[in-house]
Structure 1
């Protein structure tokens, strides 16, 4: 029924217009009464041509959409599209979709005002036929697209208009064979495709980020595990030797080892540590070494009480102390002193472990796996937010410094990076 009324409306419009034209011509230009029959034939022919054109328009709209209603039959199409991105991103998506339309010739876009106007070359599906040339369906100049993006919180609301470049009253006579319907639907599909691509990219990025976090945690755990067995093996080996020569000292060493383990094992590999907790671990470690080195080992700690609760990477302080003793104090006759100094400067917590041992002239001087692990763990946990330096200490020995973002208490930056 909708198709019938549409064809009837177009045919009636052409019939009335041609009848008025024929009457005007007959009264002003022609004086032969016999010419009225010829004019009547012309009016009937124009009406028939209009009916065929309207029928073709209806069939093509049905072919495009599968349904015929006043909205799909109209030559002027309006769409309201909601895009789940902020207005600027929505504008970019719409602008790109319009530029990719077949026949797009001139696109004027203003990002500040969130508006796009474009001229689309008229691509009639049946252009070239005599029937459509006679009825003006080759098109005046083409179609146009007008888009306005309205910010809607974190989303963008798009008003899309696709219409012929001619007066609205001409829609009673001229049809576009569904060209603007095609343009409106094509832009809608393009926007939906680009939104879907953006969602897929975001999902892929989220999966990749989660995978990278899992790999980071696994690598941190592996690097952590490379440190603890090394110390445990050396301690148990020394205790085994002392059981033969000095059982009392062996018993004391095993007691200190229990204290060390009590401070170490209850925490998970990726758990948050504090500087105070690491100091307790180091003291237990040094108590074990003091049994073997005796007065050759001295310790000075300069860490203010408020800094004990500051987050600090687990096992790193012990690694620096172990390196200072192994490469600096043990090879030196008479031993020496280990200093542990903590300061806060420009939002960074710097912890320095210094010794007055043999320095870089000793075997390796801090190029072993322990310090490589420190650098790698800092990179994985903090990226460019942390630093590690190792320099000569005056007048002898080595000073190694770790600098990490300072947090007075609460969640550590490492945990924020690992658990998002």
Structure 2
């Protein structure tokens, strides 16, 4: 309160004394007319109107900061801001922030000296006010504003000095007010700098997350390449085909044909093209036909996949991984073998592919290391985020049922039935 009263009194006293000195000089020194009756009212009137302008300035400052003190009431605002960037990046940030200020007309920058000066057109906050339209208080205001920014480099951070002031001499502050426009510019620059630093940190965080995701995806792809052609399966199949060429050449021919089909779909491709349910099903069927020849009556399989779902995009090798797990951990350890089912069903905008068996189930004897299933979950997360699901449950009366649910999408040119 005392600060506001002192500010108003200072402005009124300044104008009153200035008008009084001018009048005395004119009447007694220049024109030598002596004392003029009623002349005292002119300094009082000037002081009164100056008080009104000062009061308007105080109210404007209170609206901007809710804190009226000598610093906020000043026409000239200084800010010292620490920026966690190198000097060049900080200079570019400050320049961009100043150019976005309302009324920014001319920005002069010197990158070598890390200095920047800008002229800001003063926008009257009460342009439609009656008193402003009549220009009654125009004599209490003057000119435009300016901003001087200086960047001081540091080891890890740099310091920025911002000066927001009227474009006029400092002694005029005894008579003129800026209606809080320089305070408003200083506050706006502070917010703009904070926002830009936050955006920069957000971009860095997103870039780091993208790098981590790409690294995880690369690792998952490497795991996929290791899993695509299992050496033991390849050796065992070739050994079985060699034996069959002596005892059952027809079966050996069928086995080699299935192996060729399997390898054609399993070897790495030159480009990371998406696979489909149909292509993955063809690979899985070739694998099952090979295992059928090797296991004989101990292996049966049933496939129920509608034709219209075969063009649906599906992650590479995931169906194959689940089929291999079903045989290796479910049916091979079981004395009488069993059956594998491959089912696909569409539901709204998703398609669910289930590989089920009636093998050993989740018993300790049938459990594996879980690497294949972890690989499936990780690849689904990287490829689809939260839009895909993987569930594995016990089958009835025995065995395991694993289901992968992905969004329904087609290769370009394919039509959804």
TM-score higher than 0.5 here? yes
Is 1:228 paired with 2:225? no
Question: Shift of residue 396 of structure 1?
Answer: 1.9
> Which residue does 2:319 correspond to in 1?
317
Q: Residues 126-275 of structure 1 correspond to what in structure 2 (within 5 A)? A: 158=102, 161=122, 167-171=137-141, 175-176=172-173, 183=183, 186-187=186-187, 189-190=189-190, 193-194=193-194, 196-198=196-198, 200-230=200-230, 232-240=231-239, 242-244=241-243, 246-247=245-246, 248=249, 249-250=251-252, 252-265=254-267, 267=269, 270-275=272-277
Q: Residues 42-53 of structure 1 correspond to what in structure 2 (within 5 A)? A: none
Q: Residues 363-378 of structure 1 correspond to what in structure 2 (within 5 A)? A: 363-365=365-367, 368-378=370-380
Residue among 340, 343, 349 paired with 2:342: 340
CA contact (8 A) 2:217 2:379 kept: no
Instruction: Specify whether residues 346 and 144 from structure 1 end up closer, same or farther in structure 2 by C-alpha distance, changes over 3 A only.
Output: farther
Question: Shift of residue 221 of structure 1?
Answer: 0.5
Give the structure-1-normalised TM-score: 0.58
Q: Deviations over 1:238-263 (max 9, x none)?
A: 42355257543555433322211112
Question: Shift of residue 382 of structure 1?
Answer: 2.1
Q: CA RMSD in A?
A: 4.6
Residue among 278, 285, 288 paired with 1:286: 288
Q: Distance between the aligned counterparts of 1:227 and 1:344, measured in 2?
A: 28
Instruction: Specify whether residues 280 and 13 from structure 1 end up closer, same or farther in structure 2 by C-alpha distance, changes over 3 A only.
Output: farther
> Which residue does 2:86 correspond to in 1?
none
Question: Shift of residue 186 of structure 1?
Answer: 3.9
Q: Secondary structure at the match of 2:36?
A: helix
Q: Residues 402-417 of structure 1 correspond to what in structure 2 (within 5 A)? A: 402-410=404-412
Instruction: Specify whether residues 198 and 351 from structure 1 end up closer, same or farther in structure 2 by C-alpha distance, changes over 3 A only.
Output: same
| Unmatched tracts of structure 2, length 5 or more | 1-16, 40-52, 78-98, 104-120, 127-135, 143-168
Question: Shift of residue 275 of structure 1?
Answer: 0.8
Q: Residues 29-40 of structure 1 correspond to what in structure 2 (within 5 A)? A: none
Count of residue pairs brought into register by the alignment: 300
Q: Secondary structure at the match of 1:342?
A: strand
Q: Distance between the aligned counterparts of 2:140 and 2:347, measured in 1?
A: 76
Q: Residues 16-27 of structure 1 correspond to what in structure 2 (within 5 A)? A: 16-19=22-25, 26-27=35-36
| Unmatched tracts of structure 1, length 5 or more | 1-10, 31-74, 76-102, 109-115, 125-140, 146-154, 413-420
Q: Deviations over 1:76-128 (max 9, x none)?
A: xxxxxxxxxxxxxxxxxxxxxxxxxxx999554xxxxxxx687764459xxxx
Instruction: Specify whether residues 241 and 284 from structure 1 end up closer, same or farther in structure 2 by C-alpha distance, changes over 3 A only.
Output: closer
> Which residue does 2:388 correspond to in 1?
386
Question: Shift of residue 226 of structure 1?
Answer: 3.3
Q: Distance between the aligned counterparts of 1:117 and 1:161, measured in 2?
A: 19
> Which residue does 2:8 correspond to in 1?
none
CA contact (8 A) 2:75 2:182 kept: no
Q: Distance between the aligned counterparts of 1:240 and 1:380, measured in 2?
A: 38
